[in-house]
Amino acid sequence: MMKCGHRANATQNGKPCCVICAGLSDGYDVVVEEPNLEGRKCICSQCKKIVDSKDAIAFFKHKPNEEYDTHYDGCEGWD
């Protein structure tokens, strides 16, 4: 897990990073301890469907200081 809240999805100079947040958010290249997601819920950023938080969900972002983590469930397509 990266400090930005996303799972590492790329590498930079051989080290894990988050391409979603690169250049936009501090922590895109800082690895942090895996969060405990037990009991947390995750909301789709588009359709607002709520599911159990799992870091394997597409575009999952852990938001420990908010009620819900976020993700995208493909509700508007994958283009």
What's the pLDDT score for residue 79? 86
Is residue 74 domain-shared with residue 45, that is, in the same domain? yes
Residue whose token pair is 């800082």: 30
pLDDT confidence of residue 20: 94
Residue 17 belongs to what domain range?
A: 1-34
Q: What's the pLDDT at 9?
A: 94
pTM for the model stands at 0.86
Q: Are residues 49 and 79 in the same domain?
A: yes
Same domain flag for 47 and 29? no
30 and 42: one domain? Answer: no
Do residues 52 and 69 both lie within one domain? yes
For residue 46, the tally of other CB atoms under 10 A from its CB is 13
Domain count, the chain: 2
Shared domain check, 69 and 44? yes
State whether 28 and 47 are in the same domain: no
Assess whether pLDDT exceeds 90 at residue 25: no
Q: Name the more confident of 72 and 25.
A: 72
Euclidean distance between CA atoms 30 and 79, whole angstroms = 29
